[in-house]
Amino acid sequence: MNPILIALDVDTPDQAFTMADRLRGVVGGYKINTHLFTGAGPDVVREFVRRGDRVFLDLKFHDIPNTVAGAVAAAAALGVWMVNVHASGGPAMLEAARRGAEEGAKKAGVTRPLVTAVTVLTSLDAATLQALGIDESPIEHVVRLARLAQRAGLDGVVASPNEVRAIREACGDSFVIVTPGIRGGSARHGADDQQRTATPAGAIEAGSSYLVIGRPITAAPDPRAAAEAIAREIAEARHT
């Protein structure tokens, strides 16, 4: 599968569908986060699914286990391809997320979505973690949470490019690693609010399964050309 997942950080469904139509065929799927989902609701997800697109529903659920199980079950019933929760919710919550995905998909008669756990947001750095009372380095904390998610039966994690290699070594080849914070290379757009970033080729070479890319493609003068350039960079990285 094409590993490029487009972050649809837009205000309206029409904007999302317009961008998706421009990129369909050169990217692997679309990420819908709280911005678009809060404004448009589940109907925007249903329409993407109806069109045959892979949807990564990026709502980062983090609540008591029963609530998260219900939320993930509802997401699964929409037919999404991937959904995520926060790894810091703990083992019981992560296990409930997995159960919710299975139950929701079975009830709706659809394929169970991948369930991934957000480790440490790419906007955070070591100083921020220390302010939160976490003495581990970002990479140590991310690997700890990745192992926790794997033990809970989740399919993978969301983590910055800086931690991909360590996660791959700790969790094995089949563990899914979704990587935001893609900048540089053919994805030139500056770091913005991202603290821990890498090029598309660098992330793939480190072991990323999927790359979440937003502004370097969606804000480019020609988004399709930008996506094609990144796809070529990824293909070259895979063959070196």
Catalytic residue flag (residue 60): yes
CB atoms under 10 Å from CB of 56, counted, come to: 26
User: Does residue 119 contact residue 146 with C-beta atoms inside 8 Å?
Assistant: yes
**Candidate list 31, 60, 106, 107, residue with the active-site label:** 60
Pair type for strands 4-7 and 176-179:
unpaired
Give the separation between CA 159 and CA 131, rounded to whole angstroms. 20
CA atoms within a 13 Å half-sphere pointing along the CA-CB vector of 75: 32
Tokens 């821990």 belong to 196
Active-site residue numbers? 60
